[in-house]
Structures are given as structure tokens and as C-alpha cells.
């Protein structure tokens, strides 16, 4: 799925522009010539400010996470002869030697490619890695790092065909989720036991990274029989969810669950949500009287409720894209139950290796009906929305593996966006006053482009290089247009082109706005 978007509309032509004048020309052959038309003013960008307060941690013995403080459009990170551009104040560097000290330099970069002075930090992965992360888990942590990661014995996947893949992560890989929505139902339940040293009777952990600013991850603990029902936006009865967005983390619980008076102290984590391209480890810790969320070992949210069922079924849902890295559960050891959910059509057959079968039907008022049927049944007489649930023999492999093709590395970016506003605050779809000044804002999400061009009614009014001191980064550009050069009562079309460094096809977006008729 291509995350670049094209938004436009129809409109008339209405502009009188004087000759375009060149203000500056670069020396390199591939440098875009800076050209600004008369009647257009470029809003000056701030000089990039050196980042501050670098910190490092390690989720693996061969990787470093580095965070810092800053408010730049993006940052350039250098280490071990490598260079990477990132959209926010955080980066993960995989594939390192655990015993080697890594020297990292971070520079703020503005929208035209200017760099700040570097912030420096040095760290050794093995000194920061906490090898006790998974002491409380049952069995091995699952790593989603290969084409058979989603073993049908262990997982049931609900996603569009071909929207899952494998993206490089250092010397390894991880599942790249590039779907509007993908759900991963675990066939390994969590059975609650006696409280551990931290008070938890059970737990689930998930290591994920965001893809774009709209990424959304939800880890839900489902009571029977909700694990058989297709994913939807209704909170199932008795369920508790760990809800993670780029804005933060929270616990969502069924309001009918028993409330308690439990109070939990939150940690001092500055960032509590998803980060594009950077893994974090979330833990959903179930106590007898609360459910607590931890991010990299720091408490970031909790809900004072009591889960009364002895067993729950974890489900991961990812909206808007993301990267799935690892998963694990804690509690009383439970075996994997190879399960397949089959949509019912005319004369659906019960597989011969089934040891149990049932028909599950969603009903009104957020209810579910379950009817057990003999495994000797060869033909099932039921129709959608009912589903046939089949529990297979332990050695069976229900369904087929999802297709996980290799994909290129790098951080995903969204498409460019254009916004128009008159200096008096009027915005489309309201007609823009044909007087004063009009502010045009271009939001660029691309990495590594060489410049942008802005056209008004088919005539170029801005050509702006964005690689002054190196590869370009996401950023915001603002321009003032003189409204007196526009024809009252007309429709003006703006076209923004982001020019790639390889001189390939530009990424384009358009918008149309209406000019009023009275001053």
C-alpha cells in the first residue's frame, strides 16, 4: 500500500503574476534553482537548534535506543559510519556489537536541510540491556522475524491479502503491517495464577513500533467466547484493552467489570505512546485488583478493575500500519490450542482432524451464541454471520501461513499536504477575501527529497531547494500570496510537487479555493 496521497479538485484559472525572478542558484548540477515569483513572500525558517539531554537504553543486547529533547522538523543521526534521518527525537540502532561502545551524533535539521551543531552520546548495548525482561513469562518470547512467524497453530490472522510483509531490522526482520486494520488472535490463552513478586497473576507483553503519525495498536484480553468473533469496534463484554497511539497509552475496560479502590503510582516517562520506526516494549500486567500498563518497564497507565474469569485470550490489533516485533504471556502455563474459524457458507464441512466443533453467532445487544456440534457432522447448515469454530488435534496445522514477502527498509512517510488561510482567519470551503494576504502552508513528510515546487493555476510561483547541507527531511513551508493578484469570484488551484533526489516522478498534491467577490 502506497502511503502517498493525492487530494485535489476542479477549479478555474485566475492569476496574474509578474515574471519569476531567481534569488539564488546552487553550484551542484542537481541543485534546484530557487525561484520566487513577485507577489509571493517566503516565511523565513528558524535556524535549527542543537538537541539536548540525550539518553540511551537497550531492548536487545545488540541494539540501542537513543532519545533526546528538541523541537526540530527532523534529525540526522550518525554512528559507526552510518547516517539516518528520523522524524522525531528518538531512534533505534540495531545490529550492533553488544561489547562495543557506540558513539552517536544527533543534529537538528530544518525544512530546507540546514543542520545544527551535533549532540553527542556514547553507550555500550550490553551495559544497558536488562536480561531480566522476560523472567516472568511462560515459555519463550515469540519473535516475529521470519516468513513462518505467524504459525497457524498459534495465530489466526484477520487482514487484507498481501498487506503483511517482512521489513529489515538490523540483521533480522520484523512483521511490517501495512493495512487499514489487521488483527492477530493468539491461540495461546493466559491462565491467571497466584500473584508473582510484582503482584501480577498474569501478563501479556508486546514489542511494537509505529509506522506513521496515525498508527494505533490495541492489545485486548478477551474472555470466552469472544476470541472466536471477528474484530470490530465494539468493546466485548468482560474485555480489557491496552490502547496505544502516538499520543499515549491507556487501559480501556468493560464498564461492567467490578471496580476497586486500587491506586497505582505512574512513572515519569516523558513519552508514553508509539514512535514511528522505534520499538518499545509494553506490558499489560493483571493484578487481582487492577490492570497496569508499562512501557519499557515504566508504569504509564492503569485501571482499577478486577478480571474475574480464570482465563483470557490475547488479541493484537494494529490500525494505520506498524511493526510487530515480539509477543509473550505470563501466568500458569497453558498449551496452544490449534483453532480455525471458518465463515459458514452453504454445506460447510467439518474437517476430519477436528476434536471439537461449535457454531458461534454474534447476536444483538453485544451478545454471542455458541452451539456445540458433533465432530462427526460432515455438513453444517448455517449461514453468515455464523462461523464454524474447529479445535484440531495438537499435531494439526489449521489454515495456511500468511504471505510474508520481504520489503525494503526505511521509515514510511505520508503524503504532502496543502492548507490555505486568509490573514483574517478565513479558510476554505468559505470564499477567501480578494484582498490582503493569503497564507499557504505546505507540509512535507518525505525524507531525502531535493526540493519542492508550488504552482498556482498552472504557473510555477515557488521553486525551493530543501537540501542545503544534506538530505532533506519532513518539514513545514509557509508562503504569503498577495490576494490582489487573484481574480475575485474565481477558483484558484494550488499544486505542490515534492521532487525526489533521484529525479524520478514527483509526489503531488493539489487543492482548490474560491475567491470572494467583495473586498
Average pLDDT over residues 33-39: 92
Rounded CA-CA distance 237/225 in Å is 10
**pLDDT per position as a tens digit, 167-226:** 998 889 999 999 899 999 999 999 999 999 999 999 999 999 988 777 999 999 999 999
Average pLDDT over residues 269-279: 87
Residue 70 pLDDT > 80: yes
Q: What is residue 497's predicted lDDT score, i.e. its pLDDT?
A: 95
Q: What is residue 3's predicted lDDT score, i.e. its pLDDT?
A: 34
Q: Dig out the grid coordinates for 167 from the structure.
A: 521489513
**pLDDT per position as a tens digit, 281-300:** 999 999 999 999 999 999 99
Rounded CA-CA distance 184/197 in Å is 30
Quick check: 490 and 515 in contact, CB under 8 A? Answer: yes
What percentage of the chain has pLDDT greater than the value 70? Answer: 93
DSSP labels, 325-391: EEEEEESB------EEEEE--TTBPPPTTEEEEEEEEEETTTEEEEEEE-TT---B---TT-EEEEE
**pLDDT per position as a tens digit, 88-118:** 899 999 999 999 999 999 999 999 999 999 9
Cα Rg of the chain (Å, integer): 27
Q: Which residues contact 97 (CB under 8 A, 6 or more apart)?
A: 62, 125
Amino acid at each position: 500500500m502506497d502511503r502517498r496521497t493525492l487530494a485535489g479538485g476542479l477549479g478555474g484559472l485566475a492569476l496574474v503574476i509578474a515574471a519569476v525572478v531567481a534569488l539564488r542558484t546552487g553550484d551542484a548540477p542537481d541543485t534546484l534553482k530557487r525561484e520566487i515569483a513577485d507577489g509571493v513572500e517566503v516565511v523565513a525558517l528558524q535556524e535549527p537548534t542543537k538537541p539536548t539531554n540525550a539518553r540511551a537504553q537497550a531492548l536487545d543486547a545488540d541494539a540501542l535506543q537513543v532519545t533526546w529533547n528538541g523541537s526540530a522538523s527532523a534529525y540526522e543521526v550518525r554512528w559507526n559510519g552510518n547516517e539516518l534521518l528520523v522524524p522525531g527525537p528518538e531512534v533505534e540502532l540495531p545490529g550492533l556489537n553488544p561489547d562495543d561502545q557506540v558513539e552517536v551524533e544527533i543534529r537538528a535539521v530544518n525544512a530546507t536541510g540546514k543542520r545544527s551543531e551535533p549532540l553527542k552520546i556514547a553507550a555500550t548495548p550490553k551495559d544497558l540491556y536488562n536480561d531480566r525482561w522476560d523472567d516472568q513469562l511462560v515459555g519463550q518470547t515469540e519473535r516475529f522475524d521470519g516468513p513462518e512467524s505467524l504459525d497457524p497453530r498459534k495465530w489466526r490472522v484477520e487482514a487484507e491479502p498481501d498487506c503483511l510483509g517482512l521489513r529489515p531490522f538490523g540483521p533480522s526482520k520484523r512483521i511490517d503491517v501495512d493495512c487499514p486494520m489487521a488483527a492477530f488472535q493468539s491461540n495461546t490463552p493466559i491462565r491467571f495464577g497466584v500473584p508473582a513478586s510484582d503482584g501480577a497473576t498474569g501478563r501479556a507483553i508486546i514489542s511494537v513500533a509505529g509506522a506513521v503519525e496515525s498508527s494505533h495498536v490495541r492489545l485486548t484480553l478477551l474472555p470466552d467466547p469472544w476470541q472466536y468473533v471477528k474484530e470490530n469496534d465494539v468493546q466485548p463484554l468482560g474485555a480489557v484493552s491496552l490502547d496505544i497511539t502516538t499520543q499515549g497509552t491507556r487501559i480501556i475496560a468493560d464498564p461492567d467489570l467490578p471496580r476497586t479502590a486500587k491506586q497505582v503510582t505512574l512513572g515519569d516517562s516523558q513519552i508514553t505512546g508509539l514512535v514511528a520506526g522505534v520499538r518499545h516494549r509494553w506490558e499489560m500486567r493483571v493484578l487481582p485488583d487492577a490492570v497496569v500498563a508499562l512501557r519499557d518497564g515504566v508504569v504509564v497507565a492503569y485501571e482499577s478493575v478486577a478480571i474475574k474469569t480464570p482465563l483470557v485470550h490475547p488479541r493484537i490489533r494494529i490500525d494505520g500500519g506498524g511493526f510487530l516485533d515480539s509477543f509473550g504471556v505470563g501466568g500458569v502455563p497453558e498449551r496452544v490450542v490449534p483453532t480455525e474459524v471458518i465463515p459458514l457458507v452453504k454445506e460447510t464441512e467439518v474437517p476430519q482432524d477436528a476434536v471439537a466443533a461449535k457454531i458461534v453467532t454474534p447476536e444483538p445487544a453485544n451478545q454471542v451464541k455458541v452451539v456445540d456440534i458433533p465432530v462427526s457432522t460432515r455438513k453444517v447448515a448455517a449461514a453468515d454471520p455464523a462461523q464454524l469454530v474447529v479445535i484440531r488435534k495438537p499435531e494439526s496445522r489449521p489454515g495456511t501461513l500468511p504471505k510474508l514477502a520481504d520489503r525494503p527498509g526505511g521509515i514510511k512517510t505520508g503524503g504532502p499536504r496543502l492548507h490555505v488561510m486568509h490573514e483574517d482567519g478565513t479558510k476554505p470551503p468559505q470564499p477567501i477575501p480578494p484582498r490582503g494576504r493569503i497564507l499557504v502552508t505546505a507540509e512535507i513528510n518525505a525524507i531525502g527529497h531535493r526540493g519542492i515546487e508550488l504552482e498556482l493555476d498552472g504557473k510555477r510561483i515557488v521553486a525551493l531547494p530543501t537540501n542545503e547541507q544534506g538530505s532533506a527531511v519532513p518539514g513545514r513551508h509557509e508562503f504569503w500570496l498577495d490576494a490582489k493578484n487573484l481574480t475575485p469570484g474565481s477558483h484558484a488551484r494550488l499544486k505542490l510537487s515534492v521532487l525526489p533526489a533521484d529525479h524520478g516522478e514527483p509526489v503531488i498534491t493539489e487543492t482548490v479555493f474560491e475567491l470572494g467577490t467583495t473586498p
